[in-house]
Amino acid sequence: MDELVIARVLHVLGVVFWIGGVAMVTTVLLPTLARMQSAAEAMRFFSGFRQRFAMQARISTLLVGVSGFYMVYALDAWQRFTQWQYWWMHAMVLIWLFFSVMLFVLEPRNRRRVAVSAPLSGQLEVTSETFIRIQRKHLFLLILSLLTIAGAVAGSHGWLIGF
C-alpha cells in the first residue's frame, strides 16, 4: 500500500504545480502583458516564458496522468466512472485530457506554424486584446480546474452528492 501513498502524494504535488502555474499565468502574467506599452515586446516575453513553462506543465500533467491512472488501477476504482456521484473523476480526466492535448499536440503544432508563417509575413499581428482573449480562455479553464479540485477533495473525503 506504500505505492498508493506515493502515487497520491505525486498526484497532488503534480496538480498543485500544474494548476498553480495556470493560476499564476492567468491572474498575474497575462494581465501584466496586456498592460505593456508594446504588444510586440509583450509577445516576445510571453513566447520565451511559455517555452520554459510548457516543459514544467508537460512534466506535471504527465505525472498527474500516470499517478491518477495508477491509483484507479490499484484501487480497482473503474466502477466509479459509471456512477454520477463521482462526477469529479470524469472532470479530472477531461481536464487532464484537454490540457494534455493542448500541451503535447496543439501548442507545439501552433508554435511550428507561427515559426513558418512569421518570417513570410514579417510580423504577426499582436495587440493587447490578444492577451485579453488568451486570459479569458485561461480563466475559464482555471475555474473549471478549481471546481474539479474542490469536487475531488470533497468527494474523496466522502462528500458524495446523492438523491
Helices (H), the chain: 2-24, 30-34, 39-75, 87-101, 107-121, 128-156
12 grid coordinates? 497532488
Grid coordinates of 29:
502574467
Q: How far apart are CA 85 and CA 94, in angstroms?
A: 16
* Spatial contact of 96 and 65, defined as CB atoms under 8 Å apart: yes
CB 18 within 8 A of CB 99: yes
pLDDT above 60 (res 108): yes
**What does the alpha-carbon distance between residue 149 and residue 146 come to, in Å, rounded to a whole number?**
5
User: For all residues of the chain together, what is the average pLDDT?
Assistant: 89
Residue-level pLDDT at 154: 95
Which helix (H) or strand (E) element contains residue 156?
Answer: helix 128-156
In this prediction, residue 162 has a pLDDT band, given cuts at 50, 70 and 90, of: low
Residues 6 or more apart in contact with residue 55 via CB below 8 angstroms: none
Confidence at residue 56, expressed as pLDDT on a 0 to 100 scale: 93
Q: Is the pLDDT of residue 120 over 80?
A: no
d(C-alpha 81, C-alpha 46), whole Å: 38
**pTM for the model:** 0.85
Distance, in Å, from the CA atom of 153 to the CA atom of 108, rounded to the nearest integer, reads 32
Q: What is the mean pLDDT of residues 99-124?
A: 74
| pLDDT over 90 at 1, yes or no | no
Quick check: 144 and 91 in contact, CB under 8 A? Answer: yes
